[in-house]
Amino acid sequence: MGRGLNALLLAQFFSAFADNAILFAAIGMVLQAEQMPTWYIPALQSVFLVAYVVAAPWVGPWADRWSKPRILLVANLIKAAGVGLILAGVEPLLAYGLVGFGAAVYSPAKYGILPELVATTQLVRANAWIEASTIGAIILGTVAGGQLADISVRGAFWMVAATYLLSLLLTLLIPRLAPRGAQTRQVLRQFSQTTRRFLQTPRARFALLGGCRFWGAAAVLRVLLVAWAPLVLESRSAGDISLLALYLALGVVAGSALVPRLIPLHQLQRARLAAWAMGAGILLFALVDNAWQAALVLFLIGCSGGVFIVPINAALQHIGHEHVGSGRAVAVQNFFQNVAMLLAVGLYTLSTAANIGPIAAVLGLAGGVLLATLWVSRHLAQATE
């Protein structure tokens, strides 16, 4: 790994750390508040995703128009500003939406910069490193945010703001890269054209829809734990809930480390096996009734998810870098994946409003994941060979 990739890994680590710490700081804030409706936590996740969806047509051209390290720097400033609004007493749904906008700006530059830093033959390995760095940050950020929120919610938010600023400083260590010079006019038309070009390519279609399946399930599982833990484990602590998410993240780290040996870029169809394993793991989670079983099953779900998503990301980056620009490719990817997460979390929010219990929701999630895997495998897998 060169100096540029090392600097990117560190900057991304701290930015992702803060992204996850702020979520569990917000969960702690909700759990400690009186008379907070059950839909508020899924709503927090939803406003974050709405920012991704609305900004998707613009953030890709921005990442390809200007130097990507500069985009990373600006995105961290936006996220830090969102935390500042929470500390200032602004409605958390609005402030967290601004953090989501900063994350939407950050993502295309974070992934789109990889083909500019490493050779094509190293893309899967570089993605494995970036995923491992991201999930490592999720692990520590999840635990730190939840544990610190149990002590002081305000202190947790101050820690998040400081971490965003640290990521900003580390971004300055990434070598300057020339902007790709993409046009930022008629972005909606360009976004529509890029999307159509992606959907016309069987390999890209497989990767896009597979990514939607993964991230939709992951988003629901994460917020579902907030309702599942009090019912099954009799725990209402943000710290305890963050530890459950920790095991899921540890599994993704393990899967990301294994994937370069298991699924090279030219054998993307192998990712189907990991998709089936993830669906089966979620189904098994419905039978869990103690903390140790939960830890093991969540780890296995995360491991299969990591093996699945890393080659998916690498394939989309390679296709985008070769044809439409890596920033635009990641923006399209983010749009589809965040629409999938928004719909999935929205359905879960409706189920909680209808008093559907968390165990029934787990069974519904498992069924949805397995059906989606079957559909993608039957219609698209052969095109990736």
Domain range annotation of the chain = 3-172+191-384
- Give the confidence band of 381 by pLDDT, cuts at 50, 70, 90: very low
Whole-model pTM over 0.85: no
Q: How far is CA 111 from CA 108, 242, 318, 321, in A?
A: 5, 26, 11, 11
CA angle 184, 330, 178 (to 5 degrees): 55
- Give the confidence band of 81 by pLDDT, cuts at 50, 70, 90: very high
The token duo for 79 is: 């996220």
The token duo for 22 is: 């702020």
Taking only the tens place, the pLDDT of each residue in 6-43 is 888 889 899 999 998 998 888 888 877 766 676 787 88
Count of CB atoms situated within 10 Å of the CB of 143? 19
Classified as helix, coil or strand, 235 is coil
Which pLDDT does position 243 carry in this prediction? 82
- Give the confidence band of 328 by pLDDT, cuts at 50, 70, 90: low
Taking only the tens place, the pLDDT of each residue in 117-176 is 776 667 777 777 877 787 778 778 888 888 898 889 899 999 999 999 999 998 888 877
| Alpha-carbon span 380 to 126, nearest angstrom | 26
Which pLDDT does position 314 carry in this prediction? 75
Least confident of 78-92, 134-148, 312-326: 312-326
Which pLDDT does position 385 carry in this prediction? 45
| Phi-psi domain of 357 (left: phi exceeds 0; alpha: psi -120 through 50; beta: other) | beta
CA atoms within 13 A on the CB side of 7: 17
Q: What b-and-e string marks burial along 225-238, b requiring 16 or more CB atoms within 10 Å of the CB? A: bbbbbeebbebebb
Instruction: Name residue, tokens 């949805």.
Output: 368
Average pLDDT over residues 103-127: 76
The token duo for 118 is: 């490493």
Residue 260 · residue 313 · CB < 8 Å: no
DSSP for residue 231: I
Q: In sequence order, which residues have a C-beta less than 8 Å from that of residue 75 and are 6 or more positions away?
A: 15, 102, 103, 105, 106, 109
Angle in degrees, 0-180, between the axes of helices 358-380 and 326-353, rounded to the nearest 10: 140
Taking only the tens place, the pLDDT of each residue in 167-204 is 999 888 887 766 655 556 677 787 788 788 777 777 77
| Alpha-carbon span 72 to 132, nearest angstrom | 19
Asked whether the predicted pLDDT for residue 357 surpasses 70, the reply is: yes
- Give the confidence band of 383 by pLDDT, cuts at 50, 70, 90: very low
Q: How far is CA 339 from CA 44, 50, 334, 345, in A?
A: 15, 8, 8, 10
Instruction: Name residue, tokens 């570089």.
Output: 126
The token duo for 332 is: 């399209």
Q: How far is CA 87 from CA 42, 90, 151, in A?
A: 21, 7, 16
Which pLDDT does position 384 carry in this prediction? 45
φ, ψ dihedrals at 53, nearest 5° = -65, -45
DSSP for residue 384: G
Residue 370 · residue 279 · CB < 8 Å: yes
User: Is the torsion defined by CA of 42, 247, 140, 129 positive or negative?
Assistant: negative
Which pLDDT does position 2 carry in this prediction? 65
Superfamily covering domain 3-172+191-384: MFS general substrate transporter like domains (1.20.1250.20)
Burial-class residue 262 by CB neighbours within 10 Å (0-12, 13-18, 19+). middle
Burial-class residue 261 by CB neighbours within 10 Å (0-12, 13-18, 19+). exposed
